[in-house]
Amino acid sequence: MDRYGRVLIVLVTLAALAGAQQKPAAARGGASHAAVKPTAETATLPSEEVVNAFMQQTFGYDSTLSWKVVAIKPSEAAGLAEVDVTISGAQGAQAQKFYVSPDGRHAVIGEILPFGAHPYEAARKELEKGINGVSLGPAGAPVTVVEFSDLQCPHCKEAQPNIDKLIAENKNVRVVFQNFPLPMHDWAAKGAAYADCIGRTSPDAFLKFVDGVYGAQADITAANADEKLTGFADGAGVKGSEIAACAAKPETTTRVEHSVDLGKALDVTSTPTIFINGRKLGAGGLPYEVVQKLVAFAAKNPQ
């Protein structure tokens, strides 16, 4: 978690929405989507004005930070409102989420976890029905690891060696790569389209392509992405010109959008995010030994 995430955790939990009723002095907050207006059914949802006022009171001290209110909606946990914001600064943009109490006086930071005797079963089943990415390993493996990733994401690049090691050391584990290009990255969607086409052609070529892209990630721009990605496709052993043509097809865009929608339905907001038999984890910075223990545990404790 970066500086903005730590600041949000500390400040949001200390501040109450009741103390943020005044209108922001500077119009640095905005909304990328219209916030839900309170109705009889959604009376506990805070207004966009209150959320922006809260953000101003919390982050207004730092002129380098700005934000957008992405969504205000009922959360999966009854009685709580979910507020999604994007906070931007010198180090880039990061999605953040907090929950507001029914009385509108407190905000809570943290992830709402599934609960019960089989807490991850619902996510596992939803993944089984929806995954359309490249799959490596036996289809009937006792453990399925699904990674939602973005080829332009530096944290995905950092996590890839662990994924490669997981594939190499666990022959009875299925690993599925799902595209989840983040809107803040200007060539990620194009990279996802190329990856989808290569994955449907050859899983082995897909891994070589991903390694090539991550290796040159800093040199790829929106302007040269087609040229670079076509070259990496050629280097992976498939015909780059054919992959480029496939990547430009509407059906490929639809496949990538399906993958993104699947991730959103499972509350994926950042990359890399992995699911081990439905158990959601942020793979960025997660030690390989921990991932391996979780895989071994999932194999012995099926949902």
Return the pLDDT at 283: 62
- 225 vs 223: CA distance, rounded Å: 6
| Whole-structure pTM value | 0.78
- 256 vs 187: CA distance, rounded Å: 13
Is the model more confident about 36 or about 253?
A: 253
- Least confident interval from 5-19, 44-58, 186-200, 203-217: 5-19
In this predicted model, what pLDDT tens digit does every residue of 149-167 receive, in sequence order? Answer: 999 999 999 999 999 999 9
Return the pLDDT at 91: 77
Return the pLDDT at 299: 93
Q: How far is CA 112 from the centre of its chain?
A: 16
Q: Is 116 left (phi over 0), alpha (psi -120 to 50) or beta?
A: left
Return the pLDDT at 286: 81
In this predicted model, what pLDDT tens digit does every residue of 51-79 receive, in sequence order? Answer: 999 999 999 999 999 999 999 999 988 89
β-strand partners of 100:
81, 107
β-strand partners of 73:
82
Q: Is 23 left (phi over 0), alpha (psi -120 to 50) or beta?
A: beta
In this predicted model, what pLDDT tens digit does every residue of 169-207 receive, in sequence order? Answer: 998 999 999 999 999 899 999 999 999 999 999 999 999
Quick one: average pLDDT of 23-27? 34
Return the pLDDT at 101: 93
Percentage of the chain with pLDDT > 70?
85
* From the candidate CATH numbers 3.40.50.920, 3.40.50.2300, 3.40.30.10, 1.10.3720.10, the one assigned to the domain spanning 121-300: 3.40.30.10
Return the pLDDT at 19: 33
Residue 279 backbone dihedrals phi, psi, to 5 degrees? -80, 120
Instruction: Show me where the domains of the chain are located.
Output: 3-108, 121-300
Burial class (CB in 10 A: 0-12, 13-18, 19+), 267: middle
